[in-house]
Structure 1
């Protein structure tokens, strides 16, 4: 088994005290974050030094691409979100500067003000050295494919900066309609990491595709986690029915193989990996452990790639090469 390769993990989270305090002030709001992953260690979100690096070494991860945990500042009004996003992005840049061989960064964006979010993306990438951004699906009722989001996609396309699409909790109306009635504890997981988060994010990717975002910005790259957020499993069905709409310039599969990169996000499933490879190809797969929410300790992160049915070159592609290809010009 090959071990002489470096792993860059893309969905590795942190949290600033200021954002946490802003969330707490909105605790009664439907948009308030819900930490519902059994076994997670959310206290480690605030750890950006020795403990985190020791955990990375234990996992077999060489570089974490740091991002604020979901929902970032997207649940906050623009007056609070804009300065909090800038401060978080500055903090991430400081950590990267302190440990440049172990960390890179993804910007968090104040999407409640898309024009300000576009400006912050340009600042974070051009001045602070971030390699792209992370967004957390819809903002309130505004989907990622809505026209109001166009400034963000135009900025990302202009910078050639990839954007990671991360899950968030479905709205209360959706939770009540589809994910309740079993019991409070199960309901919370049902609407979240069991399946609700993943449908939520997959739907947002479809909003982007059928809303024409990639037709307007054909070089824009987005990254989706959890082996495609259910979309890849239904790719044939979505493509066949989607073609009837006439809404896109290309067949559905074109967007999956030209605009979308896929990561496992700590779902260490060889079966899901094989399916992802079959649908999008080896050059569209990147890596993530979902720190600190998923246990990848004792070398589990590296062991998954060691045990995958890959050539040495393909293993390097997945571990770091594909990400390097789409971000090299930003370094």
Structure 2
């Protein structure tokens, strides 16, 4: 039985006007059955149970090889450190372990009220697991359409406080551009893509220009959000490197960093000078070294001639890119001072277990280290500007 929600037990942010730039829903696991087109329903994403009663994902009609049995029950365990809570058991299910507000819009609004937050920009959970195992481009588009219809409905009557973001798959850029327009007309405020492509074409490659052209036309951002990735994209540097949990944790955003950098290699920002790009769940402290390195190479070495740019890489960042930081990042105030206070915002990752559960306390400490004129931007105004709500 789920515990009774008591707002008195929730830490309330002392600052007003805050927006969570990257919250998550534990979406209804049956949504793909209900929202996908009939011709794809037999291969809809589903939760099933194995012979031991453990839940598993079925993707494209096949059992998932990327997620272990019993894993779905752990997806909402933010703040829990006891390893027993993550031990598979038939009684531990995805639905039974949902924390408050994870899959109910009315609950999420009450949680925001208790936390003192104005709004939350929402991304999926199951939706960032399947693309690593589905190389069927047509079915991937159908999975995205189904989720996008559902998240628009989930957020529709929430007074603009729950912000739906569409999922796009870059396997078919023309289809993704069509879906972006449909989803935005349905209420989504932008879209996200995962940090890899089954075509192995870099995100900045002109092959993907139909998506960016449509985003510019609609004046919505494209975000890059981490996701499960195909096994062959993992570094073979160390034996069983994915089991080195601390290493895996700090490199989880590597795909986002690499995808972002290809926008410079292919001069994407020159082709689309009003494109808005958002980098999520990869931290923000790294961006200082990254931009310094890119500026140096682009302007002072022969390598820069291979990717001729009209501006310095850091100038494009200040003009067109936003990045989210974790509330416990101590370097974020310094990054804001150097690369533009209007380029940064915070995100909770609620309710995923790989981020700290005391994010509001950490956010207060970080916000206090930011000069007052920039604080409102960090807390909420910057993400409002990026997504226009």
List aligned pairs for 1:123-134, cutoff 5 A. Answer: 123-125=182-184, 127-134=185-192
List aligned pairs for 1:135-150, cutoff 5 A. Answer: 135-140=193-198, 141-150=200-209
TM-score (norm 1): 0.83
Distance 2:229 2:147 in 1: 25
Alignment partner, residue 175 of structure 1:
234
1:320 equivalent to 2:345? Answer: no
Shift of 1:62: 2.3
List aligned pairs for 1:80-95, cutoff 5 A. Answer: 80-95=139-154
Describe the SS at the equivalent of 1:62: strand
Q: Return 5+ residue gaps in structure 1 as ranges.
A: none
Alignment partner, residue 297 of structure 2:
241
Shift of 1:71: 2.8
Distance 1:56 1:38, change over 3 A: closer
Describe the SS at the equivalent of 1:161: coil
Shift of 1:89: 1.4
List aligned pairs for 1:1-331, cutoff 5 A. Answer: 3-14=14-25, 15-17=27-29, 18=32, 20-21=45-46, 24-25=58-59, 26-29=62-65, 40=78, 43-44=97-98, 47-69=103-125, 71=128, 74-75=131-132, 76=134, 77-125=136-184, 127-140=185-198, 141-169=200-228, 171-181=230-240, 185-186=243-244, 190-191=247-248, 193-195=249-251, 197-225=252-280, 226-228=282-284, 230-243=286-299, 244=301, 245-246=304-305, 247=307, 248-264=309-325, 266-269=326-329, 271-293=330-352, 294-297=355-358, 299-300=360-361, 303-304=364-365, 306-311=367-372, 313-328=373-388
Distance 1:209 1:95 in 2: 36
Distance 2:211 2:236 in 1: 31
Q: Return 5+ residue gaps in structure 2 as ranges.
A: 1-12, 33-43, 48-56, 80-93
Render the CA deviation track for 1:50-69: whole Å, top value 9, x for unaligned: 44334434444321111223
Describe the SS at the equivalent of 1:263: strand
Distance 1:267 1:299, change over 3 A: closer
**Contact 2:196/2:229 (8 A) holds in 1:** no
Distance 1:130 1:178, change over 3 A: same
Shift of 1:122: 0.9
Distance 1:304 1:20 in 2: 41
Distance 1:295 1:259, change over 3 A: same
Distance 1:80 1:190, change over 3 A: same
Render the CA deviation track for 1:191-224: whole Å, top value 9, x for unaligned: 3x222x2222111100112211111001111111
Larger RCO, structure (CA 8 Å, separation 6 or more): 1
Structure in which a larger fraction of residues adopt helix: 1
Distance 1:236 1:190, change over 3 A: same
Distance 2:119 2:166 in 1: 16
Larger radius of gyration: 2
Describe the SS at the equivalent of 2:349: coil
Shift of 1:156: 0.9
Distance 1:130 1:224, change over 3 A: same
Distance 1:38 1:326 in 2: 27
CA RMSD of aligned residues (A): 3.1
Distance 2:224 2:316 in 1: 15
**Contact 2:156/2:187 (8 A) holds in 1:** no
Q: Name whichever of 221-230 and 206-215 sits farther off.
A: 221-230
